[in-house]
Amino acid sequence: MRKRRTYGARGILARGTLFAAAALWALSSGVAQATHTKFTQPLPRPPVLTGGEHVENGVITPGANPGSISIVATDRDIVVPGLANASTNPTRFWTFGGFVPPPTLRFPTGKTLNVKFTNNLNDIKGTNPSGTDAQGRFQGLANGTQSGLPGSRTELTVHHHGSHVAPSSDGWACGYYFATGGGSLNYVFPNRESDAKNTTGLERGTTQWYHNHRVDVTGHTAWKGLSGGHSIIDDPNDPKLPKGPAVIEGGVNKGFLYDVSLTIRDLTFASANIGGVVKANQIPYTFLFDGSVGDHLTVNSVPQPFLNVEPTKYLFRFLVPGNARKYFMRLRQSGSTSNITMVQVMQDAGITGPVNRTEIPIGIAERVGVVIDFAPFAGKTLILQNNQGASGQCVPGPSSTCTTATSEIMQFRVGTTVTQQENINVANITRAFPRAADLTPVANTRTVNFTREGSHWTIRLGVSGRLGDDRIMDCGRTDADPVIDTVEEWTVQNPGNWTHSIHTHDVDQICVSRNGGACPASDLFKEVWPFPPNTTIVFRLKPTDFTQVAFDPDATACNPAGAEQPPNPDNTGECQNVDFADNSGDLTTPTFTPDRHGTANVTGDQARAEAGGGRYMIHCHVIEHEDLAMMTQWRVRSNPDGTRNDVPKI
Ligand SMILES: [Cu+2]
């Protein structure tokens, strides 16, 4: 076995100490827990951005540059409806644009989306008012990480989860950072892709999302609120999907009445020292080795809300952004023990087709699009329940945190009138999507093993049935290098007793088998895979020009914005056929790649790193697992002639 790259003895000791302290805290906490009464607060709908907005401090301002969105990350005190004394004890969140819940992007496929993220998080610097939690633990990031690593962690890098973009717009965990104090980065999301069943070049309709991906501190920033949704609309006039009339609240675009984003996550509301004052209703982050979990279930940031619905069909876009709890959703009429059938129509990678389900498990980073027909329940009340891990682990490891407090997610109150009858037939909500037989021949096979070795979460990635080194994250190393336009088959294994959520960036994956048998119809076309203990999933993938819109660091001519990076792939024919360095074969540390803790920039070394093929992450999305280095990288090898197009061709 090769020597593992580790944090060093100091880091391991620090992590062990933190783990013990956190466990003790969980058992003996005298922290004042906030209370709420379930189903008393309406579900808030996130603001919807469609282009041309500047979003800061809870204000959306139309911009001068249609198509681009500017989102300023800030910390902000937000009243959480329903919490005891919420109006006098607002909760300090870290926000995108000052909104809780964060803004949702809603964009038609094929329309390039430019988003500029600016980092004005003050708390992240560790100055007031980030303060400490009730145990005196620091709640900023500037003095290191919860995982025990020293150094400054005040930067963000935004991953647009599910997209197919250049590494420079992919939120590389090891670089492309922008620091607090006004640092910013422009991201380009072309909303394009291709596969065996999609030759349009347009990205499939689905639900994606965006979140900070800065290695070591992703869990902390996710807990404090840094994640938002993105709905890709493959046909704005598609009459097959529930949509309904537009919703405008207080002059703010809230999307459409029958198309509802539901972001489920758990939080612990407790007292914390904010700016020298102990305040209730805060959300201090407690790092747990197995995964950090809370005792309040929230939907769109409100604990156990209700939603008034009409007796017709709705599309719900479920997202679980973390940190570690997995949900087993069931729908029941209030007081009933019978499960109501829900129709899943979307998987991570796109609209697929209707799958009837009475229980829908959803783990970290997964998205499911579900149609629920409320027509038979006019005047009734339904409860979306959480089956608490009866069908599996609700949290990685021991299930002691599955309690009655987490057994109900939200309530639907069904009215008796329908504003806009759409006559949706779920059988028509289908799209052609690739199956394993469409991805042939298989040019290469790899085996990926997600496991735990003592105090490390580890990944072993090897080729041709052999496992590679047992190792943890190393930003300077790449563990897989598929050749563009060739098919690879990966056997991914979780041989341990821990639930994981395995995510491979940039390219969609097609299920071949699960535990040696057929793939469930609900989990065929994804980029985050649910991994209960002792699970093996085989999937295929095929990187294409569409899945990696490359970035030519020297091609300033294709960037009308001049100095701004990355160049805008405006699809005008410029910057085509960029010559890339020969990156075949060599997976050792490139000399020009920043090391794990280096702060990269977008020119110079960083640009040359991208020209060498760029890097995408493979990791467990239980966020504390990834922060504890259950993460590695892959990159795309050039064509044999060393060329690759930087812009998808239609
Ligand atoms: Cu994991």
- The identity of residue 246, as a single letter, is A
End-to-end Cα, the chain, rounded Å:
47
Reported pTM: 0.87
Secondary structure element (H or E) that encloses residue 10, with its range: helix 9-28
- Centre of ligand 1 to C-alpha 417, Å, is 45
Length of the chain: 650
Q: How far apart are CA 109 and CA 235, in angstroms?
A: 8
- Centre of ligand 1 to C-alpha 500, Å, is 4
Strands, E assignment, 213-335:
227-233, 246-249, 252-256, 259-267, 270-274, 277-282, 296-299, 302-303, 306-309, 313-319, 327-333
- The identity of residue 183, as a single letter, is G
Neighbours of ion ligand 1 (CB under 5 A): 500, 620, 622, 625
- More reliable by pLDDT, 642 or 576: 642
- Centre of ligand 1 to C-alpha 499, Å, is 6
Q: For residues 91-116, b (16+ Cβ closer than 10 Å) or e, as one string?
A: bbbbbbbbbbbbbbbbbbbbbbbbbb
Query: What is the β-pairing status of strands 350-357 and 408-414?
Result: unpaired
Query: Three-class SS of residue 23?
Result: helix
Q: Is the pLDDT of residue 131 over 80?
A: no
- Centre of ligand 1 to C-alpha 79, Å, is 32
* pLDDT at position 287: 82
Scan for tokens 């100490």, then name that residue.
17
Q: How far apart are CA 478 and CA 492, in angstroms?
A: 17
* pLDDT at position 389: 67
Task: Return phi, psi of residue 354, to 5°.
Answer: -70, 135
- The identity of residue 240, as a single letter, is K
Confidence category of residue 188, pLDDT binned at 50, 70, 90: confident
588 contact partners, CB below 8 Å, separation of at least 6? 477
Query: Three-class SS of residue 348?
Result: coil
- Of the ranges 195-204, 236-245, 254-263, 593-602, which one carries the lowest mean pLDDT score? 593-602
CA torsion, ordered 16, 174, 119, 58, to nearest 10 deg: -80
Q: How far apart are CA 234 and CA 229, in angstroms?
A: 16
Say if residues 123 and 179 touch (Cβ distance below 8 Å): no
**Is the C-alpha dihedral spanning 412, 415, 421, 423 positive or negative?**
positive
| β-bridge partners, 492 | 448, 537
Say if residues 361 and 392 touch (Cβ distance below 8 Å): yes
Confidence category of residue 135, pLDDT binned at 50, 70, 90: low
- Centre of ligand 1 to C-alpha 218, Å, is 14
Helix extents (H) in 179-227:
218-223
Q: Within 10 A of 427 (CB to CB), how many other CB atoms are there?
A: 10
- Centre of ligand 1 to C-alpha 456, Å, is 11
Q: Is the pLDDT of residue 11 over 60?
A: no
Strands, E assignment, 515-573:
525-526, 528-531, 535-541
Query: What is the β-pairing status of strands 302-303 and 296-299?
Result: antiparallel
Scan for tokens 């640009």, then name that residue.
607
Tokens at 650, concatenated: 């239609």
Secondary structure element (H or E) that encloses residue 74, with its range: strand 68-78
Q: Is the pLDDT of residue 32 over 90?
A: no
Closest CA to 485 of 616, 613, 632, 644: 644
- Centre of ligand 1 to C-alpha 501, Å, is 6
Q: Within 10 A of 432 (CB to CB), how many other CB atoms are there?
A: 14
- DSSP 8-state code for residue 626: H
- For residue 479, the Cα-to-chain-centroid distance in whole angstroms is 22
Q: Is the pLDDT of residue 640 over 80?
A: no
- Centre of ligand 1 to C-alpha 388, Å, is 18
| β-bridge partners, 198 | 195
65-106 pLDDT, tens digit each: 767 889 999 999 999 999 999 999 999 999 999 999 999 999
- The identity of residue 386, as a single letter, is N
- Centre of ligand 1 to C-alpha 503, Å, is 10
- Centre of ligand 1 to C-alpha 197, Å, is 31
Q: How far apart are CA 622 and CA 394, in angstroms?
A: 12
Say if residues 609 and 590 touch (Cβ distance below 8 Å): yes
Q: Within 10 A of 556 (CB to CB), how many other CB atoms are there?
A: 14
Task: Return phi, psi of residue 104, to 5°.
Answer: -105, 135
- Centre of ligand 1 to C-alpha 610, Å, is 28
Tokens at 229, concatenated: 């949704």
Q: Within 10 A of 65 (CB to CB), how many other CB atoms are there?
A: 13
- Centre of ligand 1 to C-alpha 625, Å, is 5
CATH fold for domain 436-541: Immunoglobulin-like (2.60.40)
- Centre of ligand 1 to C-alpha 240, Å, is 36
Say if residues 157 and 178 touch (Cβ distance below 8 Å): yes
Instruction: Spell out the domain ranges in the chain.
Output: 436-541
- Centre of ligand 1 to C-alpha 472, Å, is 12
* pLDDT at position 411: 98
Q: What percent of the chain has pLDDT over 90?
A: 49
Q: Is the pLDDT of residue 581 over 50?
A: no
Going from the C-alpha of 72 to that of each of 229, 602, 630, the distances in angstroms are 16, 20, 29
Closest CA to 227 of 139, 318, 325, 321: 321
Work out the average pLDDT over 208-234.
92
Query: Three-class SS of residue 372?
Result: strand
- Centre of ligand 1 to C-alpha 364, Å, is 9
- More reliable by pLDDT, 636 or 120: 120
* pLDDT at position 113: 84
* pLDDT at position 437: 96
555-579 pLDDT, tens digit each: 333 333 333 333 333 333 233 323 3
Mean pLDDT of the chain: 79
- The identity of residue 465, as a single letter, is G
Closest CA to 274 of 409, 131, 151: 131
- DSSP 8-state code for residue 607: H
Say if residues 319 and 360 touch (Cβ distance below 8 Å): no
- Of the ranges 105-114, 333-342, 461-470, which one carries the lowest mean pLDDT score? 461-470
